[in-house]
Amino acid sequence: MKNYIFLLSIFFFVSCSETETKSKEGEMVDHLTSGKWTVVDFDGEINNFELGVVFSKDKQFFNMDSQGRIIPTQHEQIFSLNSDTLQIIDFKYEPRFIDKKGTLVFKVKELDESNMTLKSIYPDSTSTYKLKNEDL
């Protein structure tokens, strides 16, 4: 009987901690998809986001033009957010080249409803982006 109570308490604590992590990631995704993000400041060598970006609710990723409109593409670009790592995958490349050419990885330094700071991890680890939510 003591073993059952012990196992039940461990299961309870583990399930509570996973819920907290999932809700934080859900909140970060909500912030990402809340509007159009324009590049305010860029420091680095390779600029992957020229003017701005848009993250949609269905995990799609789009670049913006100078007038704030989404630039449609012939291929799919998706994003995923795991903990504090943002990964953007561009499927215009062949499957064998997606890891080398079609993947961008960023560390999310700051993210709230109005500001976002990204530090590039791959392919260029020297770039830092500061973005502002245009819709707020």
Domain containing residue 79: CATH number: 2.40.128.280
Q: Name the domain count of the chain.
A: 1
Distance of CA 58 to the CA centre of its chain: 13
Please give the Cα distance from 98 to 105 (Å, whole number): 12
Whole domain around residue 80: which residue ranges? 2-133
> What is the tens place of the pLDDT at every residue in 61-100?
999 999 999 999 999 999 999 989 999 999 999 889 988 8
> What is the tens place of the pLDDT at every residue in 111-122?
999 999 999 999
Please give the Cα distance from 12 to 136 (Å, whole number): 39
Please give the Cα distance from 118 to 111 (Å, whole number): 9
Please give the Cα distance from 8 to 2 (Å, whole number): 10
At residue 20, the pLDDT reads 53
At residue 14, the pLDDT reads 60
